[in-house]
Amino acid sequence: MATKVKLKKGDKVIVIAGRDKGKKGEVLKVLREEDRVVVSGINLVKRHTRPSQVSAGGIVEKELSIHISNVAFLDPKESAPTRVGFKVLDNGKKTRVAKRSGETLDL
């Protein structure tokens, strides 16, 4: 069962657990059903691929998904890990808010 995912594609995150702990990157893809995210430059693996009409083949480095509990949203103001909350603005629009600084995230 998928939990409520508060991250979106394009968000800046920091890895808080695992072999890439401390590294920062941007969310490329959110896999809601598996509670996982693909982050640029994080959890890199080498894949040996066969040549095809599209690619030359060889050893290709790609990002695998990482569990959402192992990443934290980066506060845009302080560049530190923070939690994400929700807030309804005066015009009735629901927006995400960084808990650490109170900064609204999507406008």
Number of domains in the chain: 2
Which of the pair, 107 or 66, is modelled with greater confidence?
66
Whole-prediction pTM value?
Answer: 0.85
Residue range of the domain that includes 92:
76-107
Within this chain, do residues 69 and 82 fall inside the same structural domain, yes or no? no
pLDDT in tens, 41-68: 999 999 999 999 998 989 999 999 999 9
Q: How crowded is the C-beta side of 70, counted as CA atoms within 13 Å? A: 19
